[in-house]
């Protein structure tokens, strides 16, 4: 898979995970890059988010992202915040850059202090292992309950210059909009204004990661970060231009592809479900109804059991608070025997429409989460 110019990545095991599997990743831009991020709306957000938000606010640029899995560094108090700051500082000194140009992310168990010494000791090896082909290794290192590494790439042409966007993500459980329990890191060699990058990322997240749900639970660590280093040497992309819409569309398509991978890898999932609600009063009402269906445990268990009990859809829509009349509502679906399932609910009262994605709820989901520690 071809990746953007001027980026390298690496991954290794530093000992955070007891299994010995890779648990530390680094993404590095050879030149300073415009940066933007979208984070969880959970009020109890983790220490790495606090640090990354502060660094983004200072300059809107970054050169590196360091990520660990196995420990969320969340609900760890002031000590956890200091750990995240030190992590950025250790890496910045080793790379010869400023600490504000390092973004930090973590995922894993909540409530335990980070094994900072293990990360500090691994940083020299992590930097030495940087390579242009390292993104897939990074995708594997950020996994927790995921069963496969999630990576995608998209290309577009801007004024004759090839622009590449590549992303990796993790997430299989505790998935709900605003955002799903997930980490996502995107790199691009596009020459794009920081304000345009920020706007395009927000649009892409709204169209993708905020349209998926597995269990309706929101994490403390959800993070999407993007770096754009301009190495494609295309004319500057800014808001309102044709090139902005082309870039924004390509970024949204990439994020949706990664989001769908997350749903297909949902903990214990056996079905991938696309839910379309149309005919709502407006798009917001349509999304509200669609998420009510997608987050209904009764609906999701019915899909697992291949039981066409549409009363569960009707009940979910009715309890969502959207405007709907019994005589207007129409529900249909594809065969429940298949792995990929399509469900449509037409409220027949307006032009509002949306699509969300979810998975079924299975006994395996309970087993995975009962044993997760």
Cα(246)–Cα(241) distance, rounded to whole angstroms? 9
Q: For residues 91 and 120, give the distance between their C-alpha atoms in angstroms, rounded to a whole number.
A: 8
For residues 29 and 6, is the Cβ–Cβ distance under 8 A? yes
Question: How many CB atoms sit inside 10 A of residue 237's CB?
Answer: 26
Distance from C-alpha of 81 to C-alpha of 293, rounded to nearest angstrom: 38
Give the CA count within 13 Å in the CB-facing half-sphere of 88. 28
Radius of gyration of the chain from Cα atoms?
21
Q: Rounded to an integer, what distance in angstroms lies between the CA atom of residue 103 and that of residue 130?
A: 17
Catalytic residue among 3, 144, 166, 181: 181
Q: How far is it, in rounded angstroms, from Cα 113 to Cα 46?
A: 11
In a 13 Å sphere around the CA of 328, the CA atoms on its Cβ side amount to 14
What secondary structure letter does DSSP report for 99?
G
Q: How many Å apart are CA 163 and CA 146, to the nearest integer?
A: 29
Known catalytic residue at 181: yes
Distances (CA, A) of 341 to 164, 356, 363: 32, 12, 19
In contact, 69 and 23? CB cutoff 8 Å? yes
Q: Backbone phi, then psi, for 219, in 5-degree steps? A: -90, 175
Cβ distance 110 to 78 under 8 Å? no
CA 309 to chain centre: 32
The partner residues of 24 in beta bridges, in order of sequence, read 12, 68
CA 320 to chain centre: 25
Which residues belong to the active site? 181
């Amino acid at each position: 898979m071809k990746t953007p110019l001027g980026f390298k990545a690496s991954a290794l095991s530093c000992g955070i995970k007891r299994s010995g599997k890779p648990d530390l990743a680094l993404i590095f831009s050879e030149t300073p890059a415009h940066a933007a991020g979208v984070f969880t709306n959970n009020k109890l957000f983790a220490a790495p988010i606090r640090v990354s938000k502060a660094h983004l606010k200072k300059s809107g640029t970054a050169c590196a992202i360091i990520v660990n899995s196995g420990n969320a560094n969340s609900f760890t108090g002031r000590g956890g915040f200091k750990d995240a700051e030190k992590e950025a500082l250790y890496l910045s000194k080793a790379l010869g850059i400023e600490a504000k140009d390092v973004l930090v992310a973590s995922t894993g168990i909540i409530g335990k202090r980070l094994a900072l010494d293990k990360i500090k000791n691994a940083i020299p090896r992590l930097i030495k292992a940087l390579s242009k082909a390292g993104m897939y290794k990074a995708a594997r290192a950020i996994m927790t309950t995921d069963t496969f590494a999630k990576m995608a790439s998209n290309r577009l042409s801007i004024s004759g210059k090839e622009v590449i966007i590549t992303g990796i993500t993790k997430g299989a459980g505790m998935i709900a909009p605003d955002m799903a329990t997930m980490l996502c890191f995107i790199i691009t060699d596009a020459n794009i204004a920081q304000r345009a990058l920020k706007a395009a990322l927000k649009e892409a997240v709204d169209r993708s990661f905020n349209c998926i749900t597995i269990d309706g639970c929101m994490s403390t660590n959800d993070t999407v970060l993007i770096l754009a280093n301009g190495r494609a040497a295309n004319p500057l992309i800014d808001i309102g231009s044709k090139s902005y819409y082309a870039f924004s569309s390509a970024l949204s398509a990439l994020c949706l592809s990664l989001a769908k991978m997350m749903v297909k890898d949902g903990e214990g999932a056996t079905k991938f479900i696309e839910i379309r609600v149309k005919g709502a009063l407006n798009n917001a009402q349509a999304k509200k109804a669609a998420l009510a269906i997608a987050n209904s445990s009764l609906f999701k268990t019915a899909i697992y059991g291949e039981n066409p009990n549409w009363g569960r859809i009707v009940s979910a829509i009715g309890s969502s608070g959207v405007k709907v009349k019994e005589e207007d509502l129409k529900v249909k679906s594809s065969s429940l025997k298949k792995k990929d399932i399509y469900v449509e609910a037409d409220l027949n009262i307006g032009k509002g429409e949306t699509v969300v994605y979810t998975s079924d709820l299975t006994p395996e989901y309970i087993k995975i989460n009962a044993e997760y520690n």
